[in-house]
Amino acid sequence: MTEVHWLEQTETDVSATNGWLSQTEAARLDSLRFAKRRRDWRLGRWTAKLATAAYRNLSADFQTLRDIEVRPASTGAPEVFLAGQPADITISLTHRDGIAMCAVAPSSVALGCDLELIEPRSHSFVQDYFTGEEREFIARTCADDQSCVLTLLWSGKESALKALRTGLRLDTRSVVVSLDEVEQNRAEGRESHAVDGNLTPIQGATRWLPLHIRCTSGQTFHGWWQSTQGFVRTLVATPPPFPPIQLKPVPLAFCVIPSAK
């Protein structure tokens, strides 16, 4: 088992200035044409830098944050550099609707995380991107929870594809998501509060609950999920992770740029 950590930030948490970006990152930001893309990119980098600083017990002054660089690998996966040298950590980044999440673990860990807004998805979406086993699981879910379960399964796929460092270049049906606790309850006939064999409501599952993912390649991932305030979070890793540990960032009051003279 391995420890994994995570940090979440919102757009309102991000510094209004860019003094925490390295020169390379500042140039990358300047190259982005669209305002939404710029906001998302800044939010992701800010969250990753604060997560790295908290995980490594570093200060969060602007010089330290500039020394933490997040660069894309050849696969597109984010990699962390400290003062120009590869860091001995691995991260996974995700953002949605002005919220970003960064997961952090030792460099030996295959890691993926995802954040999704719970929303309805079409029948064709389910048919195109989910396996028969997953479609049957969704069909057995009570109507009030179908959007949440569908979002949860999709998020688990996204996390696994990030851990595989392929992203959506790989067929989403090549990874099969299972909700361990729910399936065990079904097998043992212990679906408390279930109606007509359907799942119990899972929205608002604030504690981390287990899931696992099988890949057609034979690889497996274990992980965790939670559902709060209309969002689903998933995190998977190999070796299997303990429940994720939330990081506490250094107070942002320390992140101050001296006034120009």
pLDDT digit string (tens) for 98-136? 999 999 999 999 999 999 999 999 999 999 999 999 999
What is the dihedral sign for C-alpha 140, 181, 195, 156? negative
Residue 227 lies in a domain: yes
Same domain for 9 and 104, yes or no, is yes
Residue 98 lies in a domain: yes
The answer as to whether 81 is a domain residue is: yes
3-state secondary structure of 90: strand
Residue 259 lies in a domain: no
Question: Counting Cβ atoms within 10 Å, is residue 94 exposed (0-12), middle (13-18) or buried (19+)?
Answer: buried
126 in a structural domain: yes
**Residue 64, phi then psi, degrees to nearest 5:** -65, -45
pTM, rounded to two decimals: 0.86
Q: Are 102 and 79 in the same domain?
A: yes
Do 37 and 139 share a structural domain?
no
- Domain shared by 101 and 153, yes or no: no
Per cent of the chain over pLDDT 90 is 72
Average pLDDT of the residues of the chain: 87
Do 122 and 227 sit in the same domain of this protein?
yes
Residues 215 and 187 in one domain: yes
Note whether 185 and 119 are same-domain residues: yes
- Among 122, 116, 230, which Cα is nearest to 177's? 116
Provide the pLDDT confidence category of residue 142 given band limits of 50, 70 and 90: confident
Strand ranges across the sheet with 231-238: 110-117, 231-238, 220-228, 209-215, 175-178
Position 206 pLDDT exceeds 90: no
* Residue 42 domain-assigned (yes or no): yes
Q: What is the pLDDT averaged over residues 43-62? A: 94
Do you know the residue count of the chain? 261
Residue 24 lies in a domain: yes
pLDDT in tens, 64-83: 999 999 999 988 899 999 99
Same-domain status, 209 and 135:
yes
Domain holding 147, by residue range, is: 115-233
Residue labelled with tokens 């001995």: 88
100, 123: one domain: no
Domain annotation covers residue 163: yes
* Structural domain count, the chain: 2
CATH classification at residue 162: 3.90.470.20
Residues 174 and 216 in one domain: yes
Q: 95 and 126 share a domain?
A: no
| Domain shared by 142 and 67, yes or no | no
